[in-house]
Amino acid sequence: MRLRVNPIACAAHGLCAELFPEWIQLDEWGYPIVDDEPIPPHLQVHARRAVAQCPTLALVAEKA
Amino acid sequence: MGAFTAAAASAGGNPLWYATRSFGLVALALLTASVLLGVLTSQRIATPKWPRFASQALHRNVSLLALAVVGVHVLTTLMDTYVRITWWAAVVPFTSAYRTGYVALGTIAFDLLLVVTATSLARTLTGHRWWRLVHWSAYAAWPLALGHYLGTGTDARTSWGLLFALACLGAVSVAVLIRLAIERREGPVRVWGGGR
Ligand code: HEM
Ligand code: SF4
């Protein structure tokens, strides 16, 4: 599983970085910088939670 | 004793009737909290000690609890024999013979809450645009619930009952005014583009 941000939909709420700091950092304007690497199984629960909680559904999980 | 039971029954001394009234009051308080927390999440108000996901998780859980309590309130109303209300009056507005208009306000609010909650739980399926649009109907559900309480609520005729309604009204009004003020300062939310 990998994470991707839709930059048009993202509103810089920063929720995702609060919920999954291992993979997501915020830049100086509050927009997320998401690690490209595949997410190991034990962290995927956090990835899924961040995806479900994003207020604008801009954060997406991809299978590959 | 006989006179006492008769008097209690005529005053609605049935335990289910008391349950209906209490759950109704709790439901209105929880709905008020749900709307306040909803406004809080939508405005990105947060501090390091109170992160955004906390407001959002609380908003979600309080909303689910509110719906559950509304559900119990409806259920005890239907089970109660003090006033007879058919089960379809719980979901189809204007079908209650008892206080048709004021019960209908509650019915419409209940329907809206069901839709708002269902679309929220299926948010990743419906997509953000639809969810957002539907979610705003929560702002309609809340005053309908308040009107339902003021119209049919036995307790709304007492001074503390009225005070409770005014406190809820005050809290939501302040929250909505603050939300509008922030909106004006930051410019409109671009819902259709999905971001802002
Ligand atoms: C009783 C049911 C509910 C009520 C009355 C309610 C009410 C509200 C209100 C008034 C807002 C502010 C909307 C705005 O002005 O933009 C809001 C926002 C929000 N609600 Fe609810 N809500 C309910 C259920 C839920 C549930 C079950 C969820 C679960 C995911 C949820 C998730 C959200 C989110 C994520 C926002 C923030 C949107 C944003 O950041 O723009 N709500 N809600
Ligand atoms: S939670 Fe969603 S809107 Fe907020 S920064 Fe992350 S991707 Fe963007």
Note whether A19 contacts B: Cβ–Cβ < 8 A. yes
**Nearest 10 degrees: Cα torsion B66, B37, B146, B28:** 30
Report the mean per-residue pLDDT for chain B: 84
Sort B105 into a burial class: Cβ within 10 Å, 0-12 / 13-18 / 19+: buried
- Secondary structure tally for chain A: helices H, strands E: 2, 4
Q: Are A10 and A64 in contact (CB under 8 A)?
A: no
Which residue in A has a C-alpha nearest to residue B127's C-alpha?
A57
Determine, for residues B52 and A6 on separate chains, whether the beta-carbon distance falls below 8 Å: no
**What distances in angstroms separate CA B103 from CA B88, B98, B174, one per listed residue?**
12, 8, 27
- Cα gap B86→B93, rounded to integer Å: 12
Question: B2 pLDDT band (50/70/90 cuts)?
Answer: very low
Ligand nearest to the backbone CA of B141: 1
First to last CA, chain A: 5
Is residue B189's pLDDT more than 60?
no
The secondary structure of chain B in percent helix, strand, coil, rounded to multiples of 5, reads 75, 0, 25
**Residue percentage of chain A with pLDDT more than 70:** 98
Q: Are B194 and B128 in contact (CB under 8 A)?
A: yes
Tokens of B115: 């839709």
CB contacts, 8 Å: A60 with chain B: none
Q: Tell me the CA–centroid distance for residue B18 and ligand 1, in Å.
A: 30
Q: Residue ranges per domain, chain A?
A: 2-62
Mean pLDDT to the nearest integer, B18-41: 94
Report the mean per-residue pLDDT for chain A: 90
The minimal CB distance from B128 to the residues A19, A51, A57 is found for: A57
Q: Are B168 and B28 in contact (CB under 8 A)?
A: yes
**Nearest 10 degrees: Cα torsion B29, B51, A55, B195:** 120
Q: Tell me the CA–centroid distance for residue A5 and ligand 2, in Å.
A: 8
The minimal CB distance from A18 to the residues B53, B128, B194 is found for: B53
Phi, psi of B47 (to 5 degrees): -130, 165
- Cα gap B95→B85, rounded to integer Å: 9
Is residue B176's pLDDT more than 50?
yes
Going by alpha carbons, the residue nearest to atom 2 of ligand 2 is A54
* Ligand 2 pocket, residues with Cβ under 6 angstroms: A 5, 10-16, 32, 54-56, 58-59
Q: Residue ranges per domain, chain B?
A: 2-186
Q: Residue B13 has what pLDDT?
A: 62
Arch. (CATH architecture) of A2-62: 2-Layer Sandwich (3.30)
- Quick: pLDDT tens for A20-51: 999 999 988 889 999 999 999 999 999 999 99
**What distances in angstroms separate CA A3 from CA A38, A61, B13, B56, B193, one per listed residue?**
8, 5, 58, 21, 21
State the complex-level ipTM.
Answer: 0.74
- Cα gap B19→B23, rounded to integer Å: 6
In the 8-state DSSP scheme, what is residue B8? H
Tokens of B130: 């639809």
Determine, for residues A56 and B124 on separate chains, whether the beta-carbon distance falls below 8 Å: no
- Cα gap B151→A23, rounded to integer Å: 52
Ligand 1 pocket mutation pick from B26, B36, B42 by most atoms within 8 angstroms of CB: B42
Residue B117 sits at the vertex; the CA angle it makes with B18 and B86, to the nearest 5 degrees, is: 45
Which residues of B fall below an 8 Å CB-CB distance to A?
41-42, 44, 51-53, 56-57, 123-124, 127-128, 131, 193-196
Residue B144 sits at the vertex; the CA angle it makes with B143 and B149, to the nearest 5 degrees, is: 95
Is residue A3's pLDDT more than 60?
yes
